[in-house]
Every structure is written in structure tokens, then in C-alpha cells.
Structure 1
Amino acid sequence: MTGTDQPILETRALSKRFSIGTRFSSEGRRVVHAVDNVSLTVRRGETVGLVGESGCGKSTLARCLVRLYDITDGQLLFDGDDITAKSLAELRPVRRRLQMVFQDPSASLNPRRRVGDLVAEPLRVHAKLTSAGIRERVAELFDLVGLLPDHVGRYPHEFSGGQRQRVGIARAIALNPDLVVLDEPVSALDVSVQAQIVNLLADLQDKLKLTYIFIAHDLSVVRQVSTRIAVMYLGSIVEEGPSEEVFSAPAHPYSQALISAVPVVETTPSGRRKRIILSGDVPSPLKPPAGCRFHPRCPVAKDRCRTERPALVEHKSGRKVACHFPASV
């Protein structure tokens, strides 16, 4: 599904920092720069894929977007309304329209409650329905996600991983949200089950007119489902653009390295993709490098990269790249 120009969610220089340690420790309090200066626009009806290595800040950003984490700096706008500093009471109507599916379905479902009750919980809190109306809606949701009516009385441990994730999806769409943030929804599943969940999400998007933010480290899955791609490195977005353009001609050196690692079928020797191996480890978010955060591992870094941090700049092609020396865009 393609998006429109009307944004449903927008971040402006959004940052999230965590303080660790105490004044009683020898090192004092230290600051983790988990998300730093992220500006992102999500339009209605599209799927924005968010990719990057483990620890780059994808899940932290996801929790900021649904206000499970307070935001340190910047702004978060949902459907034009600034929700950056709204109280829990003020966020209540927003919760109906902004939902999240978590990575681990086992951890996100209360093992002591029946799954029918778990799916019904947001209806009891937010929807003005009778008990009969709630039961009817739960049955409808189970049917939508491919679960059987008699599953409502079972506990999470009685399901497979894929079925548990279907329960999580049913709970997320219970209130007919506008936007669903999917935090690595298939990474804990077998490959065959991943395909089933991805197809289910696509069907639900068409039926319910949903907008998705799809977070994953599997670039093949992201390419399949996403309209646009945003690539994160050490808490910041380094490249953003239409999915096929980013995959076919990545402009940032980090994007090039990520995409070169995606397995492909080599039909001829000339069709082989050159693998880019990055040197070193990802720097600590406790002490990010000066200048471009990627420069210690970048194969094309120059002196300017070590001292001047590049802004995320939009080029004529519509691609946004945070690099002093991007590939042709």
C-alpha cells in the first residue's frame, strides 16, 4: 500500500538519553545516547522500515514513538498533535490510535491469563461495549488473525510462537488503530512462520487501512514489506528513501555494507555481489565518536568526517543521506 503526503506521525530532532550509575559509584553518573536527533515522517497508509545493527536504537525509538518512554529532547507529533510531553491521562485517547506489537510474543503476553482476556483488555479499558459486545469483538479479531474461536480460553504457553504473535497482533488492532509500530515482529519465529505473519500483516493493512513502522534486522523481510526505508546507526538515521532505491543503490557507506550482507542467489559469476566487511566494533553509545559517528568504521572517511557531524540532507532524488561524501543520489 502506498502512502499519501499527509503525515500521521512525525519526529523532530527526537532524542532519548538514559542515565546509568549513581553518585555513589566510582565513575559517577553516565549517559547513554540511545536515540539522537532523529527526524522522521510517516505518511498515512505506508510502511516505513527501520533497519540497523543490534543496539543501534531501533527498539528505543519505537518505545519513544508510542510514548512508552519519555522523550529527552525534540518533538513527537501524532496526526498534527504534539504528544511529546502529554500526561498519561492526556495520552489516553491517543492510545486507541497508536499501538505496538512487540518482538517476543512470549514475554509480551501475561502467562497467567487466557489469551481471550488479553485481547479483550484494551476493549474493556477504552471501548464502550457490553460484555456480549466484547466477546463478539474478540471472536472477530481471532478470525481476522487466523485463530480459532475455541482458542480464546487457552493460555499463552499452549500456543506456538507464531500463534502467540497472532494474539499480540489481535490485541494491537483491537481498537482499530491508525498506526501500528512493529518491533521486530518476526525475528523470534521460524522462516516459514515469518512468511505467514508477514502475509497476515499485509492483509490486515489492506483491510483495515493501517500504517506501519516495521522494525527489523532482516533486510530481506524489510524490503518485502516496506514503502520507505530508514537506516539507523548508533542512535541516528543515516539514510532514508524509497525502499527499492535504497536497496538498489544505497548512498551511505553503512547502508552499502548492510545491503551487501543480504544473501542473494548467484546465477552467474558476473552477478556476484561484493561483500563489504566493516572493521572494528560499533562504538559505545556512552561515548559516541566526534564528527560522523560512523567514521571509525567507514572505508571512505576523510579528515572532515572526524571533526564535523553530517546533517541528514535531502538530495534532488528525494533521498536523505547523512554523509559528507555520499554515493550518487
Structure 2
Amino acid sequence: MTLPVTPLLAIRDLHKTYRLAHGESLKAVDGVSLSVMPGEMLGLVGESGCGKSTLGRCMLRLTDVSSGQILFEGRDITTMGERSLRPLRPRMQMVFQDSNASLNPRRRIGDLLAEPLRVHRDADGHRRSATVIADRLHELMNLVGLPPAALDRYAHEFSGGQRQRINIARALALSPRLIVADEPVSALDVSVQAQIVNLFADLQAQLGLTYVFVAHDLAVVRQISDRVAVMYLGAVVELGETDSVLHHPAHPYTAALTAAIPRPVVGGDRAIPLRGDVPSPISRPDGCRFHTRCPHARDRCRSEEPRLRPIRPGHEAACHFPLLSE
């Protein structure tokens, strides 16, 4: 896949720290640097609590960051106020994990989808007429595979998969360039997951969308992503093209995750068991943040934190002793 040189979204040394009681701090995002190219689908994966959802919210400035830089379309949005961010909001949207909680149960679907079209002006700065809004709502229903009659119904009248289609339609309403999808299929049945994943892929091909697809299921990410970023305890520990990362993982944590895919093991006999629990982000281990669970850990791993470095073309890993393969 050939991508343009200039990223649509670039984050540099991003940190998000929550201040807790008794002077403690929780580092949800700990020095992440990533670029997302136009038309790309970047998969962001890791266990629950690794910081991937927080990172996704930070990318869109739905959550303020503690330090670092966020560039969207070449503009620094890191410290922009809401008035300055407002013109950019239509171009960057989010699809949330809980399809039910994301929809107001007291309002019809048509009203929910029409709201952003009423709040934001069109490209020429004009308010949209009722006719223009009605036409757009029918377009959105067609895009996500729902009948126009759905516009007159309420959220509770739909299945989980249908509600997620409605959430996707709402994210598409203002023709965004970037969509961050925060575990959008994790609460759905497996067969419905496949339908929604295929919908994301079809929309990308049809509309030229750029995605950050947050997930904990590598099987889903393998199906849909161009590149994968693997997070652990708030940091990216491996980054590269999907086939390279999942078929030839360089970080022991990624190798352990691929072993959990419920199908023939990716990576063959190099898969390792993932033992123990994720340490608390309030008291992260010194050195490599994965060394407490890594069967390959050595003295250096316990004292020196590894940084992302090239393993092979287009593939980086934060490991002192990366797993190498032919």
C-alpha cells in the first residue's frame, strides 16, 4: 500500500497523567509517538487498561493531554480552545464502544443524526435546509445498510449491531476525514462483528476514510488494518505493517498476544504464554515495562527502559532482545 508522505494525524511524545488521591499519579499514556497517514487504517491493540482508549480520545482532543503534541492536518491542536477546535470537529469523529449508551433513548434516530448537521454549518458557512438534511439522512442510512424507516424509530428498537451502524452513520454525517473507532465490535456477537468490520472496510474504500481502530482482538485487527501499534502500560511497544507484526512479532508481548488468537497460531513455534497480570500503571516497573511477565527478561531489562527502534523495514519494537525470524 503506497501512502502519502504527510500524515493526517501525528502525535509526538504524548503523555496523559491522571492525578489521584494521596499524591499518586496514573500514567494512562506514557510518551507515545505515532503518525496516521491519509487513507490508512491503523490498528491500536493491547490488553484492557493499557491506555489505548485514552490515547484515542486524546487524538481527537476529547480528553486534554498532560504534555506532548497533536497535529491534525498539519495544525497543532494540542492546546487549542474549544472555539478554535470547533471548525475541525466535523473532520474528526469517534465511534464509541457502547452502542446503546451512545444514543439518547428519548430521541428518534433521525433527530440524533440530524443534530450535527444542524449544529455545524456546511463548507460554505451556511445553515443546511430541512430538505438538505433529509436527503443526507437517507444517504447515511444507505451507507450503513439500514432502511430509511429506521429514522423514525428509537434506539431500543434495534439490535446491538444495528445500533452500531447508527453510531457509524452519525460519525459519517459531516463527512469526516478521520474516525477513531474505540472497540466498536467488542460487545457484539462474532457473526455481527464480521458484518461491522466489513462495513468499516467498505466505507474506507468508498469514502477514502482514515481510521484508528482500537481493539483488544488481534483477529479483528489482522482482518482490517494496514498497520498495527501494540500498547502495553501506556506505551507503544511494537509498531509496523500488520503482516510483519502479526506473522513475525519482535516483542515478546506481541508474540504472546498472537498466541491467543483463536485459530492456527500466528508466528508458529515462537508463540509464548502470557503469564501474570498487567502491573498497576500507578507503580510501573522500572526498566522494561513488560519484564515482570517476560520469559526472556535479563538484568538489562530490569534496569533500562527500551525505546522503539527499527527491527526490519517498516517495523519497530521496544525490546532489548527482540525475537528475530527469517
- State TM-score, norm by structure 1: 0.94
Match of 1:301 among 273, 282, 297: 297
- 2:274 and 2:254 map into 1 onto residues whose CA distance is 11
The corresponding residue for 2:213 is: 214
The corresponding residue for 1:278 is: 274
1:187 maps to a residue whose letter is S
Match of 2:68 among 58, 74, 84: 74
Q: CA deviation at 1:6?
A: 2.3
What is the RMSD of the two structures over their aligned residues, measured on CA atoms?
1.5
SS of match in other structure, 2:240: strand
- Residue by residue over 1:131-190, the C-alpha shift from the partner in whole angstroms, topping out at 9 and shown as x without a partner, is 121111111101111111111111100100011000000000111111100111111111
Q: Cα–Cα, structure 1 residues 272 and 256, in superposed 2: closer, same or farther, change >3 Å?
A: closer
Q: CA deviation at 1:320?
A: 1.1
Matched, 1:18 2:14: no
Aligned residues: 319
- 1:84 and 1:6 map into 2 onto residues whose CA distance is 18
- Residue by residue over 1:212-271, the C-alpha shift from the partner in whole angstroms, topping out at 9 and shown as x without a partner, is 1111111111000000000000000000000001111100010011011112248xxxx9
Whether the aligned pair in 2 keeps the contact of 1:111 and 1:156 (CA below 8 Å) is yes
Q: CA deviation at 1:316?
A: 4.3
The corresponding residue for 1:246 is: 245
The corresponding residue for 2:103 is: 109
Q: Cα–Cα, structure 1 residues 183 and 39, in superposed 2: closer, same or farther, change >3 Å?
A: same
The corresponding residue for 2:140 is: 141
Whether the aligned pair in 2 keeps the contact of 1:2 and 1:45 (CA below 8 Å) is no
Name stretches of at least 5 consecutive residues in structure 1 with no aligned partner. Answer: 22-27
The corresponding residue for 1:91 is: 85
SS of match in other structure, 1:36: strand
2:20 maps to a residue whose letter is I
The corresponding residue for 2:227 is: 228
Q: CA deviation at 1:96?
A: 0.9
1:72 maps to a residue whose letter is S
SS of match in other structure, 1:175: coil
Name stretches of at least 5 consecutive residues in structure 2 with no aligned partner. Answer: 122-126
Whether the aligned pair in 2 keeps the contact of 1:260 and 1:273 (CA below 8 Å) is no
1:310 maps to a residue whose letter is P
Deviates more, 1:298-307 or 1:233-242: 298-307
- 2:2 and 2:160 map into 1 onto residues whose CA distance is 30
- 2:29 and 2:129 map into 1 onto residues whose CA distance is 42
2:207 maps to a residue whose letter is L
